[in-house]
Amino acid sequence: MIKSENICKEYKTKYYDIVANDNINIEIAYGEIVWVSGVSGAGKSTLLHILASIDVPTSGHVYWDDKEISALNDKERSYFRLNNIGLILQSLELLKTQTVFDNVALPLRFMKYDSQKINTKVNNILEELNIIDLKTKKPEQLSGGQKQRVAIARALVTEAPYILGDEISANLDGDTSKFIYDYVRTAIKKRNGIGFFISHDEAIKDYVDTMYTMKDGILEAVK
Ligand SMILES: Nc1ncnc2c1ncn2[C@@H]1O[C@H](COP(=O)(O)OP(=O)(O)OP(=O)(O)O)[C@@H](O)[C@H]1O
Ligand SMILES: [Mg+2]
């Protein structure tokens, strides 16, 4: 389970103070896939970063099962992320100097898998996502939609239970988006994991279990 209790996130800058997340309580069970929509600037990415433990709240708590992730230090949080989270950020964060294969293999290498197992796992997922032909290319040689699928492959390859994605279909056409939603949903359900997806694309609706909208830092369930 992923749970947040009274999450607040305030950004103080030279020019403005803003409450990006305002007292957010959410609980996501194993097997559940959540969709969050909302206008630009509503605070969606801020919440995703906090639930994924790449950022900490100004106040409030985040739990992964019974462990309070928001109370751990940076090193401990990285360790738990590696083992538990597949993350697809808005900025994708692919390594420019590395090939598609090496980008996807990266988390498995950190997890000390042997090279034969890495080969099998990476080749399989690249094939399933129709990007196997790109495996020796660098990110700058790829289209936006191809890069998007590399980031998705890297997030899913470790079979982490928690998959969090920020606009995973941002660069994909309608048919490819649906293929990806279906693929990601099937992967999460198969591992009885948790999905948390931010999207402006209404078509994701058919692939999620629970819907929320976010406005001015406040999260509301959609019935
Ligand atoms: N590091 C930061 N420093 C200061 N303000 C920030 C920072 N990150 C986000 N904000 C502000 O917090 C608010 C919420 O930003 P956030 O990125 O969470 O929105 P979003 O809902 O993901 O928007 P979009 O749909 O455009 O991605 C915005 O007003 C943004 O300017
Ligand atoms: Mg965002």
Q: Chain-wide mean pLDDT for the chain?
A: 96
- For ligand 2, the distance from its centroid to the CA atom of residue 171, given in whole angstroms, is 14
Over residues 93-124, the pLDDT tens digits come to 999 999 999 999 999 999 999 999 999 999 99
Counting residues of the chain whose pLDDT is more than 90, the rounded percentage is 97
H-type helices in the chain, by residue range? 44-51, 74-84, 100-110, 115-128, 144-156, 174-190
Q: pLDDT by residue (tens digit) across 157-178?
A: 999 999 999 999 998 999 999 9
- Please identify, by atom number, the ligand 1 atom nearest to the C-alpha of residue 39: 25
- pLDDT tens profile 43-75: 999 999 999 999 999 999 999 999 999 899 999
Which residue ranges make up each domain of the chain?
Answer: 2-222
In angstroms, the CA 111 to CA 168 distance is 24
Question: Is the CB of 91 inside a 6 Å radius of any atom of ligand 1?
Answer: no
Does 217 sit in the ligand 1 pocket, CB within 6 Å?
Answer: no
Q: Locate 69 and state its tokens.
A: 């992730």
Predicted confidence at residue 223, as pLDDT, reads: 86
- For 2-222, CATH number out of 1.10.260.40, 3.40.50.300, 3.10.20.30, 3.40.50.720 equals 3.40.50.300
Tokens 């939603």 -> residue: 181
pTM of the model: 0.96
Which residue among 13, 14, 18, 36 is best mutated to probe the pocket of ligand 1, counting the most ligand atoms within 8 A of its Cβ? Answer: 18
How close is the Cα of 151 to the center of ligand 2, in Å?
A: 16
